[in-house]
Amino acid sequence: MARLILFNKPYDVLSQFTDARSPTPRATLSDFVDVPGVYPAGRLDRDSEGLLLLTDDGRLQSRISDPRYKTAKTYLAQVEGEPDEAALEALRKGVVLNDGPTRPASARRIDDPELWPRNPPVRFRKTVADCWIELTISEGRNRQVRRMTAAIGHPTLRLVRWRIGDWALGGLAPGEWREVAV
């Protein structure tokens, strides 16, 4: 029976279990998850937060993370400025990045979500507004959401992955995990 763990990856934590090559210690998954034999199904950048799936089943890991399966991933992104409908429509149609066009995404403005505080907090600037968008993509290029929001002129300030396929973050606090049935 495959194991599947839902983990709320905190900000500034690497999506790997070791960091032996770094001259200065950095937080890794091993600081939070002490379950032998599980590995991340996909990645979440060090400066991003939220849902990371871990499994001991290679086929499940591939089904979750391989772009050919087009597993939907939903992010909550705090962006600089206030994207208008044209900017959101550009995300919905797909934007051109330096490594080619993205697949169409689902994008909408949302009210400020009730999230845990981030440490360190996102910088606040009185003269620059910000807002939250919900963005669902079906591929997973390196720093894709950040590059997509930058391409429409609204850089990402904070990024939280909320859902992967049928699995959602739910009530997990940063650093917490739970095992679910597959």
Active-site residues, by number, are: 45
Query: For the residues of the chain, what is the DSSP string, one character each?
Result: ---EEEEEEPTTB-SSS--TT-SS--B-GGGT---TT-EESS---TT-EEEEEEES-HHHHHHHH-GGG---EEEEEEEES---HHHHHHHHH--EETTEEPPP-EEEEEPPP--PPPSSPPP--TTS-EEEEEEEES---TTHHHHHHHHTT--EEEEEEEEETTEE-TTPPTT-EEEE--
